[in-house]
Copies of this chain bind each other. A is one copy, B any other.
Amino acid sequence: MSQVAIKDALSGRIEAGTTVTIKGWVRTRRDSKAGLSFVNVSDGSCFDPIQVVAPAELANYDSEVRHLTSGCSVSATGTLVPSQGKGQAFELQAAAIEVLGWVDDPETYPIQPKPHSMEFLREVAHLRVRTNTFGAVTRIRHCIAQAIHRFFSERGFYWVNTPIITTSDAEGAGQMFRVSTLDLANLPRDEKGRIDFREDFFGREAFLTVSGQLNVEAYCLAMSKVYTFGPTFRAENSNTTRHLAEFWMVEPEIAFADLDDDANLAEAFLKYIFKAVLDERGDDMAFFADKIEKTAIRRLESFIASPFERIDYTDAVDILAKAPRKFDFPVAWGADLQTEHERYLTEEHVGRPVVVTNYPEHIKSFYMRLNEDGRTVAAMDVLAPGIGEIIGGSQREERLDVLDARMKQFGLDASHYEWYRDLRRYGTVPHAGFGLGFERLVVYICGLGNIRDAIPYPRAPGSAEF
């Protein structure tokens, strides 16, 4: 048998006694007094490295094997045998070890076999994936992403990618990044001396999208069930552990649906994702529960087992006003809920996930459906114990006259939204959707403290983004 993934070698799927080759990177080497070495090798395919037992008889034992350090790449061929030691079921009795790549100056190699601070690892983003933590984050991110696509596809949703570069005006969802090919040192000017964006790449001002939602509504009103999963951008200088300038969003949109359908979809979605992670990445989750967040597994299990509570915003405000504790931010009808309020509701008052519905219209977006009371909109936030808001969504305003009035109220120029208005002029139907930040989900599942540890590359060290 030739090269096998270490996950297959350790899983018992390959019969003991089989000759196999594994390839990967050395994590640790330990020399025994009995004249042999134990070399732990990882190839990223699963959490555990495989223990390669290297006898002194190997031709390159003294010249190479005993010089292996953390990070060296090797190819090891030998017999897969039941492990004598604790922990693993199988190990590899090496008949040959080939060193593929050495580590220049092992003393200064950043990834040593010892704990590193998360701050330090963000500085070596290209190497941090070689640690236990970031290998596990990478596999769990993959597991979540696959589960997202599977969940929607199994339910008849179609994936749509909405434009990243947009010439639409901002919808008040946040500050936008400008995208341009103009020469900043030599900006073109029009007759009045203003910057002439007709000379820019798209012939007008262009920005990075803050959300694909408005675009995806057009697809929803033809395909019935659609979703996006792609990057979105906010140019907000909020240098917190909770915000990113660039993040991936999941945005499903369903036709012939109201807020209740939307909340049901959100509940089914989160439970499906969490179950997939527990089923498929038990090794990595055990690590997070052991080293990062003790409740990591337990809270996902509890989440899956709990029916979501639904609370009207107005009732939530009453509950918070009567709460036997003090909040930093005041509680009053008409104000948005803060994280401390959200966490009180889900963690202390109810003790399981909560969907808060029907928020005051003036604190939510223009496209959310105005309720009969005229004071609230059919918006929802899903709150999860341990994090607070994890999903935000709404039924969309499908009535053109109400939409127009709302746009006026928010000071939006209806002429910029003609295509969006068309959707209400031509076969409009009730529809709803939600948005969920992918990295927020990763942070929650892995129990990470900083959202920069949920992305593959923290960018621009030393900048606001870091």
* Residues in chain A within 8 A of chain B (CB atoms): 3, 5, 7, 23-26, 43-45, 71-73, 75, 100-104, 109, 111, 125-127, 129-130, 135, 138-139, 141-142, 145-146, 149, 153, 156, 158-167, 175, 177-182, 184-185, 187, 194-195, 201-204, 206, 208, 215, 218-219, 221-225, 230-231, 233, 235, 237, 245-246, 248, 255-256, 398, 419-420, 422-423, 425-430, 455-457, 459-460, 462-465
Name the B residues within 8 Å of A158 (CB-CB): 44, 138-139, 141-142
Contact A180 B181 (CB under 8 A): no
Name the B residues within 8 Å of A462 (CB-CB): 203
Once A231-B161, A237-B201, A460-B167 are accepted as A-B contacts, the answer to whether A24 and B224 lie under 8 Å apart by CB is yes
Name the B residues within 8 Å of A423 (CB-CB): 126
A73 to chain B, nearest CB (A): 4
Contact B103 A427 (CB under 8 A): yes
What is the CA–CA distance of A224 and B172 in the complex, to the nearest angstrom? 42
What is the CA–CA distance of A102 and B145 in the complex, to the nearest angstrom? 38
A260 to chain B, nearest CB (A): 14
Q: Which residue of B lies closest to A205 (CB)?
A: B184
The 8 closest A-B pairs by CB, nearest first: A44-B223, A101-B428, A203-B463, A73-B427, A126-B218, A202-B460, A104-B425, A129-B222
What is the CA–CA distance of A7 and B256 in the complex, to the nearest angstrom? 16
Instruction: Give the residue of B130, B138, B464 whose beta carbon is less than 8 angstroms from that of A160.
Output: B138
Instruction: Give the residue of B101, B146, B223 whose beta carbon is less than 8 angstroms from that of A427.
Output: B101
Name the B residues within 8 Å of A43 (CB-CB): 223-224, 255
Given contacts A43-B223, A145-B149, A167-B460, 15 further A-B contacts (CB under 8 A): A45-B156, A100-B430, A101-B429, A103-B427, A109-B426, A127-B218, A129-B223, A142-B153, A164-B164, A164-B231, A164-B246, A165-B233, A178-B181, A201-B463, A201-B465
Q: Which residue of B lies closest to A72 (CB)?
A: B427
Name the B residues within 8 Å of A460 (CB-CB): 167, 202-204, 206
Interface centre among A111, A142, A180, A419 (most CB of B within 10 A): A142
What is the CA–CA distance of A153 and B146 in the complex, to the nearest angstrom? 8
Integer count of this chain's copies in the complex: 2
What is the CA–CA distance of A206 and B465 in the complex, to the nearest angstrom? 12
A401 to chain B, nearest CB (A): 12
Name the B residues within 8 Å of A135 (CB-CB): 222-223
Name the B residues within 8 Å of A245 (CB-CB): 165, 201-202
Name the B residues within 8 Å of A231 (CB-CB): 161, 164, 230-231
Instruction: Give the residue of B142, B145, B167, B215 whose beta carbon is less than 8 angstroms from that of A456.
Output: B215
Contact A246 B163 (CB under 8 A): yes
What is the CA–CA distance of A59 and B204 in the complex, to the nearest angstrom? 52
Contact B195 A184 (CB under 8 A): yes
Contact B156 A5 (CB under 8 A): yes
Name the B residues within 8 Å of A145 (CB-CB): 149, 159
Name the B residues within 8 Å of A184 (CB-CB): 178, 180, 182, 184, 187, 195
What is the CA–CA distance of A464 and B221 in the complex, to the nearest angstrom? 29
**A to B CB contacts below 8 Å, 15 in the list:** A5-B156, A45-B225, A100-B256, A104-B425, A130-B222, A146-B159, A162-B456, A163-B246, A163-B456, A165-B246, A167-B460, A178-B182, A184-B195, A202-B464, A204-B460
Q: Which residue of B lies closest to A146 (CB)?
A: B153
Name the B residues within 8 Å of A153 (CB-CB): 142, 146
Once A159-B146, A160-B138, A177-B181 are accepted as A-B contacts, the answer to whether A465 and B235 lie under 8 Å apart by CB is no
What is the CA–CA distance of A105 and B264 in the complex, to the nearest angstrom? 36
What is the CA–CA distance of A450 and B208 in the complex, to the nearest angstrom? 24
A187 to chain B, nearest CB (A): 6
Contact B233 A230 (CB under 8 A): no
Name the B residues within 8 Å of A141 (CB-CB): 158-160
